[in-house]
Amino acid sequence: MDYKPLTYENEFQEMKNYFENRDFADAVMCLKSRLEDINLVPLNIAVTGESGSGKSTFINVIRGVNDEEEGSAKTGVVHTTAVPTPYVHPHHRNVRYWDLPGIGSPEFKPKDYLRLVNFDRYDFFLIITTERFREFHVLLAQAIESTGKKFYFLRSKIDAVLTGHRRGKTKGYDDREILKEIREDCVNGLRAGGVGNPRVFLVSCLEPDKYDFHLIHETLEEELPSHKRHVFLLSQPNFFLRTLSRKRKSFLKQIWRWAIVSAMNVTTGPWSGATGVVAAPSLSANGDLTLMVNVLEEYKKAFGLDPRSLRLLADTFGKDVEDLRSVIRTSAASQDITQELLFHHIKSQGLTDMGRMVTACVNQFVPQITVLASGGVAFGTTFWILSSFLANMAEDAARVLSRALEAGE
């Protein structure tokens, strides 16, 4: 696979060259493979720490998997891991979290451990502790650093730590102050142990909408190579409004690619002889509706609007799933996305006219779209449908999340 980082400017230029040479089939192949590859990028994340530190619980929460669900990592002190065990993300089969054997026994040797767990396999390491970081954490971090891999520290069960601090305290007590102290204590301890610039996140798997959970995501995402960022972002659970808006932006960047693929299908596919206006039925006959159905299904899962994700969100925040569902407004989010649903939407909203408008608009920037002839309408319609459904689903997801986070009566 070609992972050469692409800028939009050089990708547009590349498309322009294809269009000018009338290499439509190559243009489609190139875009399709990029769209497919983006979801096939492998990501392997190692989760290590002492036994009982919360590794398995974290691996479930971060994948959006219930502790009791099939495919969940078994939690609790009796379930310890002797060999690295991969847990795949339910929607992104190439994103794997690896539950590594516990560290910290008296005979623990970091270099041997890394060899044993096959360190080269992982994109980065998360080192979890419930207590202060100790010497073996530092030794492990140094051994990881010497292999050229990145590592991050997680101080887990922060909910319990705060509860402990709150006990016996009365007025003037501020959680933020305590969190600041814990963070400084961790960072200073690691620095004193010889870790240059330790990144420490304070997390609770019981309260994944609080503390540093979102910062883990954002930091890791920024530090991943660019071709891995999209899939990592999509694999994140929807506990924060900012995660939803970042997903929306990332999807938005892909829409023009889908629109061109759709338009090219019309021009180069079995219907390329059709003349005049391409109406909705031609889109359907061409498989463009299938394409859109698949893309919209992906949006739905990424925004957590599918039945499984809604149930998990309801369980996590102790809410009724029907109550969460009641704030969903988009039909595509509340029912199965089918070709009929889209077809109806296109007809009822006059979207082929909208498609023409979008195409005319895009034409000003990418005049080569006109060479797509009848495909131009498919371009506009696909563009319009995907972006309007994307906006609506992102808004639905934000409403659902706000509802889930509302304090109970």
Ligand X SMILES: Nc1nc2c(ncn2[C@@H]2O[C@H](COP(=O)(O)OP(=O)(O)O)[C@@H](O)[C@H]2O)c(=O)[nH]1
Q: Are 378 and 355 in contact (CB under 8 A)?
A: yes
Strands 200-202 and 85-88: unpaired
What dihedral angle (degrees, nearest 10) is formed by the CA atoms of 347, 353, 358, 360?
Answer: 160
Q: What are phi and psi of 24, to 5 degrees?
A: -65, -40
Question: Using CB under 6 A, which of 11, 37, 159, 353 touches ligand X?
Answer: 159
Tell me the per-residue interface mask from 206 to 225 with ligand X, x by CB under 6 A, - otherwise: x-------------------
CA distance 309 to 324: 11
**Segment near ligand X (CB under 6 A), from 157-165, 227-235, 344-352, 395-403?**
157-165
- Shortest CB 309 distance to ligand X, Å: 21
Tell me the per-residue interface mask from 310 to 349 with ligand X, x by CB under 6 A, - otherwise: ----------------------------------------
Based on CB atoms, which residue is closest to ligand X, 97 or 258? 97
Chosen from Mg ion, ligand X, none, partner binding at 205 (C-beta under 5 to 8 Å by type): ligand X
Which pair of tokens denotes residue 277?
A: 């206006």
Based on CB atoms, which residue is closest to ligand X, 57 or 330? 57
Is 56 an interacting residue with respect to ligand X (CB under 6 A)? yes
Chosen from ligand X, Mg ion, none, partner binding at 282 (C-beta under 5 to 8 Å by type): none
Quick one: residue 205, left, alpha or beta (phi over 0 = left, psi -120 to 50 = alpha)?
alpha
- Shortest CB 182 distance to Mg ion, Å: 23
Number of residues that bind ligand X (CB under 6 A): 19
- Shortest CB 246 distance to ligand X, Å: 24
Beta bridge partners of 47: 99, 126
Residue 305 CA, distance from chain mean position: 14
CA distance 262 to 248: 21
Question: Using CB under 6 A, which of 53, 235, 352, 374 touches ligand X?
Answer: 53
**Which residues 345-374 are close enough to bind ligand X by CB under 6 A?**
none
The CB-based long-range contact list for 320-328 (8 Å cut-off, 24+ gap) reads 323/403, 324/400, 324/403, 324/404, 325/400, 327/396, 327/399, 327/400, 327/402, 327/403, 328/396, 328/399, 328/400
Based on CB atoms, which residue is closest to Mg ion, 56 or 267? 56
Is 66 an interacting residue with respect to ligand X (CB under 6 A)? no
Distances (CA, A) of 280 to 28, 122, 271: 21, 46, 13
**Segment near ligand X (CB under 6 A), from 201-209, 219-227, 269-277, 339-347?**
201-209
Which pair of tokens denotes residue 284?
A: 């359907």
Is 57 an interacting residue with respect to ligand X (CB under 6 A)? yes
**Segment near ligand X (CB under 6 A), from 55-63, 107-115, 173-181, 305-313?**
55-63
Question: Using CB under 6 A, which of 71, 76, 86, 307 touches ligand X?
Answer: 76
Nearest C-alpha neighbor of 230 from the set 250, 204, 200, 205: 250
Strands 85-88 and 95-99: antiparallel
**Segment near ligand X (CB under 6 A), from 46-54, 294-302, 312-320, 349-357?**
46-54
Question: Using CB under 6 A, which of 92, 157, 230, 356 touches ligand X?
Answer: 157
Q: Which residues bind ligand X (CB under 6 A)?
A: 49, 51-57, 75-76, 79-80, 156-157, 159-160, 204-206
